[in-house]
Chain A
Amino acid sequence: MGFMNASASFTRFQITEPVPSELWAQIPDKLKQFAFQEIEETAEERGWGWVCYDDMLDSFWRTAPPEKGEFITFSLRLDTRRVSAAVMKKYLTLAIREEEKRIKEQGKKYIARERKKELKEQVQLKLRARTLPVPAEFNAVWNIQTGIVYFASTQSKVLDLFAEHFSTTFGLDLEPLTPYALAVRLKGEDIMHALDNLEPSRFA
């Protein structure tokens, strides 16, 4: 999902507090500190972090620096392992049958609930390690003059992850510019009282 595409879908955020002036120089280092780390050789379900805006395979900003004009640019890369439900079902059934055979020899009839849960976790882990993570990339553009951050997604889970990782990285909180927040930004805090007491209009 990117801003250079023919059409872009995104969410607008504003930074809710003043940016400490010493932060600007630290941004490249902070991005590297919280950069994406490959999960291909692990069994992790999800991995995320920052990558270079111009190349999602670059977590060291060798391709281009994050600064472009009055903007700081970077992308959130989110890799996810998705094991197909049908594959999971097949291997769980196989594991359970094997376990049944094994406990029969010990004279037992049923697999304990705890043991079943354990088997499921083992199968999940084994399959995950064999599944390639699917990469996804979401552009972020931070206008340093206005304190507005554009993030190229409208999916609430990805937005939550982005805002959280942004806050961890820079120590700054993001607020989505919903109708209420945008109204306060455009018209000032004086209108908050009027907005809080707003009664819906009847157009019909």
Chain B
Amino acid sequence: MSDTPYLGQTTDVVLGQEFLTWLWFRSETRNGQFTTKDGDTYFMYVEQRVSVQGGEGETLETATVSGNLSELREARLGLSMGKKVNRALIRIERDPEAWHVTLKAEDFALGSLKTPKVEKADSEDDDPDAAFLEKMYLIEKCLAYLDNAYGEFLSARLSSTWTEEVKELRQWLENAG
């Protein structure tokens, strides 16, 4: 929101950056597969465009790497030097549908969310709000998938197994580097 810091701001940055970093690791090491509490399976990938950030104040450094089907090597290098993901393009798939969205770590601002295509109304008899309602349904579905992954991250982050998870993440970075 405004430029003045507010309660929880630092926690916002820590949570947001660690979630996106974890999401990248998690999406690569487990085939991108996630399951909701209701047993709905979907796939989620960090791809094509990632920004990593490290340091603070005057030493704050950001590197943005993008490329189709690239391994985003420079961004991984940044991670292995202590940076964290501060913005990522996320792809969500649930056959046959796909969503794209850019998530910003510090405030979870949602950028350029693309939903599966919404069909335009065929005739004037159709509910004039049908296209809107379908679009909102698809947007909320995407957010539910994102929230589900975030919930999974939080459970891991706040449990005693987090140190194990961090070890695995380091291993992933070393293998990819």
Which residues of chain A have a CB within 8 Å of any CB of chain B? 3-4, 6-12, 64, 68-69, 71, 73, 141, 143, 150, 154, 156, 159-160, 163, 176-183, 186-187, 191, 194-196, 198, 200-204
B interface residues, tally (CB under 8 Å): 51
> Within the complex, what minimum Cβ distance (angstroms) separates A58 from chain B?
15
* Residues of chain A contacted by B169 (CB below 8 angstroms): 203
Main secondary structure of the interface of A (DSSP, over half): mixed
CB nearest to A200 among chain B residues: B14
Q: Which 3 A-B pairs have the closest CB atoms?
A: A179-B15, A180-B8, A7-B112
Is there contact, CB below 8 Å, between B143 and A203?
no
B26-34, B61-69, B129-137: which one contacts chain A? B129-137
> Within the complex, what minimum Cβ distance (angstroms) separates B159 from chain A?
10
Is there contact, CB below 8 Å, between A183 and B15?
yes
Is there contact, CB below 8 Å, between A204 and B173?
yes
Is there contact, CB below 8 Å, between A191 and B12?
no
The complex places the Cα of A178 from the Cα of B110 at a distance, in Å, of: 11
Q: Which of B11, B150, B173 has the most CB of A within 10 A?
A: B11
* Residues of chain B contacted by A182 (CB below 8 angstroms): 108, 147, 150
B74 within 8 A of A: no
The complex places the Cα of A182 from the Cα of B8 at a distance, in Å, of: 12
B139 within 8 A of A: yes
The complex places the Cα of A31 from the Cα of B54 at a distance, in Å, of: 44
* Residues of chain A contacted by B13 (CB below 8 angstroms): 179
User: Could you say which of A8, A178, A194 contacts B113, with CB atoms under 8 Å apart?
Assistant: A8
Q: Which of A11, A200, A204 has the most CB of B within 10 A?
A: A204
